[in-house]
Structure 1
């Protein structure tokens, strides 16, 4: 379950990064949230992989 949430966060971060290319007027905000989502997703994925051992 935690793995799926982390993958969704990573996918959302990538989606926001792609959206920032199409919306240059909001690029700074979208890139900030993209980074937050990517870091959260990677952190959750690391925790899930460590907990599954």
Structure 2
């Protein structure tokens, strides 16, 4: 059983990127805004990890 990891216990990376793409094309609804917010949190987390190394 290969389960994808949920980001912030909300959605998978694939779902997030798909919804974020729609957000970048101008689709503004709850799910796309949520995906964009999660993406920004994810990026900040990744940047912190790189600096900490």
Task: Tell me the TM-score normalized by structure 1.
Answer: 0.54
Structure having greater relative contact order (Cα 8 Å, sep ≥ 6): 1
Give the gaps of 5 or more residues in structure 2.
Answer: 23-27
- Whose strand fraction is larger, Structure 1's or Structure 2's? 2
Alignment of 1:9-48 (within 5 A): 11=13, 13-15=16-18, 17=19, 28-48=29-49
Match of 1:24 in 2: none
Number of residue equivalences:
38
Q: Aligned-pair RMSD on alpha carbons?
A: 2.9
Give the gaps of 5 or more residues in structure 1.
Answer: 21-26
Q: CA deviation at 1:14?
A: 1.5
